[in-house]
A = this chain, B = another copy of it.
């Protein structure tokens, strides 16, 4: 008994948290209750019931089906319902008159055929891509038509039936719209506005999170790369939000579609407010978020640059990231406050920091590709230019450079074998690579041995570890390139926000 009372308490706590998270949910629920109550009163009181008769129950049905969360969606549904009912009513009256004038035998046949045709045509039309948003309207046409024509046939006087029903539906629709608009209205436009601002912050957060983790991560806390592909990444809340933003790409569009139905209100007091621009900005932002996803992919990739190489450009990467995130946040803030300000300075800063990162990479590019720590290159048939440098370049670059010239004019095409490339790594690094290597071939488990046991694929075989070596170092280059590409895409984002702020007449912020 105590156990059940405990789980009951848990349940109440969870519901309470759910309500507190967004009080609008509770308000919405009470609004629906209020709307159905109001429309039921029409029937519970005698006077309106006697005027409209039994058809008044249709107003209840209308409220229950029409009432949506936002004002715009309710208007949209109401429009579908109203136009659908009207068309169906007119059609039903016309067909009923024709059928009636054709005599008693032909009447049910004509009615049956008309129902079949209407069912087929409306179902076909709602599959047509550009008509899909009006799917509900076609359903309404179909069942309203059937109801009116069939009950008209059985009870006589289809016009009276149709009119009574239209009145009831109109009453239901008006009650639903009034309650929705007058009692704590929830505007789709407002939600769209906030959703977009949130998305800006989510992208900025997850960029920073991802980069920080990349630089902080010394590779020790990755027990199982293989299982991490589809994992939840519990320690990366911002990434999770970013991914769910990408997955719910249709949300902005749905909200924008609803917002178009809303009259000017509150801050959005301009007629024909450019809601579709919000969708466009969201699309460009998503385009930037794809780069963050790619960065995250490198962070959790099997092929990893070692920690001491990663932190080589630590300062430059961090600075560029911080500036880029600040620019994204500042753009989001401008939209939030509905103001327009020149982003020249921030954009310049981001470009400057990115250039600095590139310059640093340019200067120390040999780190990214050539092999270091090679004591005896004598037995190589070919050797790329290499340098012996410490990796902590950010702190002190003043190290000796030991360049070695190739021993001979080399004429091997790139796919020629390198038979005797010796394992020359220092121990810890060697170990890292080996572990990463094993992981890459970890599936299916029985295959690892077969694969390793084969020893070589004809003349092309070289020890795998060497082969992966340069890629491991290039992983850092990939990371920074993706970061730079993210910055390059920010230009488009700034442009999209600029277009939005012009069309939406945001206030110009004096600097």
Contacts and interface: CB of A to CB of B under 8 A. Distances in A.
Interface in A75-122: 108, 111-112, 115-122
28 contacts: A29-B123, A29-B124, A32-B122, A40-B112, A61-B143, A67-B123, A230-B287, A247-B249, A290-B294, A291-B297, A303-B481, A303-B484, A303-B485, A348-B451, A358-B471, A360-B415, A362-B466, A362-B470, A362-B471, A363-B384, A363-B418, A364-B414, A365-B474, A368-B369, A368-B474, A369-B369, A396-B411, A444-B498
Contacts of A359: 414, 418, 462, 466-467
B385 A411 contact: no
Nearest to A290: B293
B382 A385 contact: no
Interface string A17-45: 01000000110111111111100110111
Leading 5 A-B pairs by shortest Cβ distance: A365-B369, A362-B470, A398-B411, A33-B120, A64-B143
Contacts of A143: 60-61, 64-65
B37 A119 contact: yes
A155 B57 CA distance: 12
A443 B385 contact: no
A455 interface: no
Given A344-B450, A355-B464, A403-B403, A116 B33 contact: yes
A369 B214 CA distance: 22
Given A290-B293, A360-B415, A111 B451 contact: no
Interface in A334-366: 344, 347-348, 351-352, 355-356, 358-366
Nearest to A488: B302
A267 interface: no
Contact of A65 (B139, B298, B414, B494): B139
Interface stretch (A144-152, A195-203, A325-333): A144-152
A284 B227 CA distance: 12
A224 B407 CA distance: 46
A301 interface: yes
Nearest to A489: B229
Contact of A150 (B57, B146, B348, B441): B57
Interface string A121-164: 11110011000000000010011001100110111000000000
Contacts of A10: none
Nearest to A464: B355
A186 interface: no
A406 interface: yes
A18 to B, nearest CB: 7
A509 interface: no
B474 A361 contact: yes
Given A351-B440, A362-B384, 6 more contacts: A33-B117, A54-B155, A316-B414, A356-B415, A403-B403, A477-B477
Interface string A361-400: 1111110111100000000001011010000011111101
A190 to B, nearest CB: 18
A491 interface: yes
A393 B414 contact: yes
A283 B230 contact: yes
A485 B112 contact: no
A153 B44 contact: yes
A290 B297 CA distance: 9
A217 interface: no
B115 A37 contact: yes
A426 interface: no
B366 A385 contact: yes
B397 A44 contact: no
B297 A41 contact: no
A369 B474 CA distance: 10
Contacts of A18: 128
Contacts of A475: 481
A441 B370 CA distance: 32
A382 B370 contact: no
Interface in A462-511: 462, 464, 466-471, 474-475, 477-478, 480-482, 484-485, 488-489, 491-492, 494-495, 498
Contacts of A16: none
